[in-house]
Amino acid sequence: MNDHEIDIRNCYEVRTSYVITNINKLLGAIHNDMSDDRIPVTVLSGPLGAGKTTVLNHVLTADHGLEVAVVVNDMGEVNVDAEHVAQQSDLAGDEEIVELSNGCICCRLRGDMLEEVGRLAERREFDYLLVESSGISEPIPVAQTFAMGFEDADFDPTDTYELDTMVTVVNAHSVWESFDSGAALVDDHPEDDAGRVPEAVLLEQIEFCDVLLVNKCDLVPDDALEEIETVLERLQPRAELIRTEFGDVDPTEILGTGRFDFQRAQQSAGWKHELQHEHDHDPQAEHGVTSFVYQRRRPFHPERIAGVLSDLPDEIVRAKGFFWSAGREDVAMGVDKAGTSVRAGPAGQWLATLPEAEREQYFAARPGLKEDWDEEWGDRMTRLVFIAREFDEDALIDRLDDCLLTDAEMADDWDAFPDPFEPEDRRELALSSR
């Protein structure tokens, strides 16, 4: 395994720019019920090349009259996005650009960003804050920054800002090409020491949003667009899907929607919906897109399951969940397949390993946990969700069943099984990243 195959969760070096501009009043876009006088915020996410900046420019140049502050977070030493916004947006009145380097607004620059938006809020020369995050920004930390603040920052945004809408821009053409070729869902690739897998970040951006803009639709046939939208609906059933060409979106679709709800957003991913509703099979696959849950109470042989997970079919767009690996009775092992990237590793502690008093507290808080409790093994089990297109799920189920311990292996010493999931530093194992 190469060093770059380990997810070390570091960040790219980026620059962040803040541009304040004036455009006309956006009639009807902001809620009438804004009595708390907080500044609403929309966050634009999406991979490099999806069209976030084009969407931003369409909003800024629209003749609707809203005073907007814009945060542009771009990768690289030169903030190309911010320069492009400044050149294309027909700025009127004062403009201000503040550059921050060596970080990303979802992690290293969170405190710095709050300091700047706090300074802007003191002047209160705008009605709305529009944030364009970088292609590798994870959406949940950005949302938490505005909804909950950040412990290392002096400015608390919750009294001044209200997170209104999380928007993700998807490149329909890139997704279409990946379906046909089995290539990655995004074109950009991280440096060897960057840590983040763009496909995994894209899936997180899709799974945690209120609005999905399917951009560059003019480059994709209608039947392929329908399949792409069906896949996106499986990945994120809660979001509003909007087709766009050249990033041209009605500003009222992404500003002042009032759609953001942190708790609902956290639970809105399609794989979570499948697990919670225990859908073992979906007989009504639309456009060849299906999803199913694999659940078993017998542990996997670690080498055999590693072999299957490292060779999952390209037709599987998303796989997520946890499994029981023989010899690892202390932790639940997690699986995360996003496009061509497959990773697995320790994901949490089994309740069965906790002291009885602590375990009873969990049972009291979530009585349903006892329904899945096994007298011998407790909550140890496997539950994996697969979202795929044009896929033979029965063949995969057979392969997974072959990975389960046989009756003879159940009587063996499980600790003697070779375990590819336990590198010395206990980081997750990159099983596939083509």
Pair (211, 96) in one structural domain: yes
pTM of the model: 0.71
> What CATH code is carried by the domain that includes residue 241?
3.40.50.300
Q: Are residues 276 and 247 in the same domain?
A: no
Q: How far is CA 180 from CA 173, 218, 392, in A?
A: 11, 17, 17
Same domain, 144 and 261: yes
Whichever domain contains 277, its CATH number is 3.30.1220.10
251 and 278 housed in the same domain:
no
Number of domains in the chain: 2
Residues 41 and 168 in one domain: yes
Last residue of a domain, one of 268, 293, 316: 268
Q: Are residues 60 and 137 in the same domain?
A: yes
Residues 251 and 292 in one domain: no
What pairs with residue 67 in β-bridges? 22
Question: Do 197 and 316 lie in a common domain?
Answer: no
Tens place of pLDDT for every residue, the chain, 434 residues? 333 332 322 232 233 333 433 333 333 334 444 446 899 999 999 888 889 888 988 888 887 677 888 888 765 444 445 455 444 444 433 444 344 444 566 665 666 778 778 888 887 778 888 888 877 788 888 888 888 877 766 788 888 899 999 999 999 988 888 776 666 677 655 443 345 567 888 888 998 899 999 999 999 999 889 989 988 988 888 899 999 999 999 999 999 999 998 777 776 665 555 555 554 444 455 667 888 899 999 999 999 999 999 999 888 988 999 999 999 999 999 998 888 888 898 988 999 999 989 988 988 888 888 888 999 999 999 999 998 888 889 999 999 999 999 999 999 999 999 988 865 444 455 565 55
Q: Are 322 and 332 in contact (CB under 8 A)?
A: yes
Q: Are residues 45 and 103 in the same domain?
A: yes
- Residue 286 pairs in a beta bridge with 289
> Which residue among 239, 268, 297 closes a domain?
268
Expressed as residue numbers, the domain containing 222 is 3-268
Contacts of 366 (CB under 8 A, 6+ apart): none
Residues 66 and 93 in one domain: yes
Of 236, 252, 268, at which residue does a domain stop?
268
* Interacting residues of 351 by C-beta distance below 8 A, sequence separation 6+: 359, 362, 369, 378, 379
> Which pLDDT value is given to residue 64?
62
The predicted pLDDT at position 244 comes to: 94
Query: Are residues 279 and 264 located together in one domain of the fold?
Result: no
Whether residue 254 is found in the same domain as residue 278: no
